[in-house]
């Protein structure tokens, strides 16, 4: 039932209560002879039985709707729990992947730093080698 339907139903019930209160306040006009009184009693009993049947039907429908809503709520709860579990799983996997990428990035950074240090050392060694070769050529030129 939508909220507007519930509101309309509530307003209808309020109107019926007001009408019933006015009817209860009205003077009772009972028949004067026994036959009319018996007929009136039978009509009232018929009305009461009809109202009881209608009330029972309304209660049955209400219980049916309540059961349906309980099933729907349980299904929604199950779906929510399933979605939360899946989200937690994805979150854990994402955190593990981030940690793995951070470790790989750290290893790459260290490797790049080591490579740069090696290149600097190689350049320095090449310069020393050139310097030593030049010195050797210079000194060998004077010794010959």
Structure confidence by residue, pLDDT tens digits, 71-108? 999 999 999 999 999 999 999 999 999 999 999 999 99
pLDDT given for residue 21 in this prediction: 66
Residue 84 covered by a domain: yes
Residue 60 covered by a domain: yes
Number of separate domains in the chain: 1
Residue 142 covered by a domain: no
Q: Which residue range forms the structural domain that includes residue 67?
A: 44-128
Residue 107 covered by a domain: yes
Residue 100 covered by a domain: yes
Mean pLDDT for all residues in the chain: 87
pLDDT given for residue 132 in this prediction: 80
Beta strands in 8-111 (DSSP E): none
Residue 133 covered by a domain: no
What is the CB-side half-sphere exposure of residue 112 using CA atoms within 13 A?
6
Indicate whether 2 pLDDT > 90.
no
Residue 22 covered by a domain: no
pLDDT given for residue 69 in this prediction: 97
């Amino acid at each position: 039932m939508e909220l507007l339907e519930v509101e309309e139903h509530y307003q209808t019930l309020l109107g019926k209560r007001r009408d019933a209160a006015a009817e209860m306040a009205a003077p009772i006009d009972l028949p004067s002879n026994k036959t009319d009184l018996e007929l009136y009693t039978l009509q009232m009993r018929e009305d009461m039985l009809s109202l009881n049947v209608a009330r029972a039907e309304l209660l049955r429908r209400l219980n049916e709707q309540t059961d349906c809503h309980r099933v729907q709520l349980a299904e929604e709860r199950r779906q929510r729990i399933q979605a939360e579990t899946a989200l937690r799983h994805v979150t854990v996997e994402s955190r593990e992947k981030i940690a793995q990428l951070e470790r790989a990035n750290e290893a790459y950074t260290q490797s790049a730093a080591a490579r740069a240090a090696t290149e600097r050392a190689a350049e320095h060694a090449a310069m020393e080698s050139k310097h030593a070769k030049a010195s050797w050529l210079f000194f060998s030129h004077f010794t010959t």
